Amino acid sequence: MSMKKIILGLLAGLLVSTGFAFAEETLPSTASEAMPIKQELKDTRAEVRDKVQEGVKALKENVQQNKTQFEDTLKTQRTDVREKIGTERDAFKEESRTKLEQFRTATAEQKQGILQDLKTKREELQTNAATLKQELRDNAEQLRTEFREKVKDARERARIAIAHHRSILMTTRFRAAIARLGNIIERIESRIQTLQGQGVDTSSVTPLVEEVKNLKAQAEATLESLKAKYESLLSGSDPKQILEEAKVLVADLKSQLEALRAKLREIMVALKALAPQPAVPATSATDEQTP
């Protein structure tokens, strides 16, 4: 599997596991209030995109660096083994020539000794060569294991960094959603004051406004907990557990914002019912006459 596919898989997993919420609110907001929020989201998205790209690039470079180091080390060890075996083989050949020259003039008993000595030396050479090759295989396997561990560690650190960058965008979007809902609460309060100035009794909606303010405060508190949880990704010892706990907070925050939006709709319906109805024109006596 290519590194690009691995990184895309990590990113897809993060998006699926956490998700983004409340990209757009269906409740109204003025253009002047929406523009700063939209610009902040745009800037945050660009910053997160750059950070993720930097993380992917750094991961690829780290893996390639470790791979090159692994290959160079293994190549050096293979060269050393070949040289050692070659040196021992050359020494055996030289010694064999000397022994064979002695063999021509040796007695029968001496010949037996020379042949036995050559056999022993040959077996030692074969044993040493086999030992060196086995050591090379063992070292190669150890190097491969170390390489895989380094790559795994690099991928894990990259995954944590990417999750942290993504969390910045997520919390910014949640904060923007809460800010938009807060603007709606302010406009509702302004509308209530207008109705009161017209002599309308708005006591029926006052408890609803207090309730919606409490819901907004709860959402803000949950968002702060979520931000703190994501920040702990960089220092926590169990990133997987942290992400699972963050996922629960995300679900809670979504539910709280849904409840907040539902309560705002309820208030808006109530205010519409309280609004003074336009007067119906009186019917003239002429209109009432029968033709």
Question: Which among 44, 17, 51, 47 is positioned nearest to 176, based on CA atoms?
Answer: 44
Highest mean pLDDT among 48-62, 111-125, 155-169, 210-224: 210-224
Residue 22 binned pLDDT confidence (cut-offs 50, 70, 90): very low
Give the residue extent of every domain in the chain: 36-274
CA dist list (Å): 235 to 157, 186, 231: 11, 39, 8
Distance CA 225, CA 245 (A): 10
Pairwise pLDDT comparison (40 vs 247), residue with the higher score: 247
Using 50, 70 and 90 to split pLDDT, how confident is the model at 212? very high
Which two structure tokens, joined as six digits, stand for 203? 């006591």
What is this structure's pTM?
Answer: 0.54
Tens of pLDDT along 120-142? 888 888 888 888 778 777 777 77
Task: Write down the pLDDT at residue 257.
Answer: 94
Question: Long-range contacts: 55-64, Cβ < 8 Å, 24+?
Answer: 55/158, 55/161, 55/162, 55/165, 56/7, 56/158, 56/162, 58/158, 59/3, 59/7, 59/154, 59/155, 59/158, 60/3, 62/150, 62/154, 63/3, 63/151, 63/154
Least confident interval from 46-60, 155-169, 257-271: 46-60
Write down the pLDDT at residue 152: 67
Torsion angle in degrees (nearest 10) through CA of 142, 143, 147, 153: 50
DSSP E strand stretches across 80-179: none
Burial 166-186, CB ≥16 within 10 A → b, else e: bbbbbbbbbbbbbbbbbbbbe
Per-residue model confidence (pLDDT) at position 150: 65
> Rounded mean pLDDT of the chain?
75
Tens of pLDDT, residue by residue over 71-106, are: 777 778 778 778 888 888 888 788 788 877 877 787
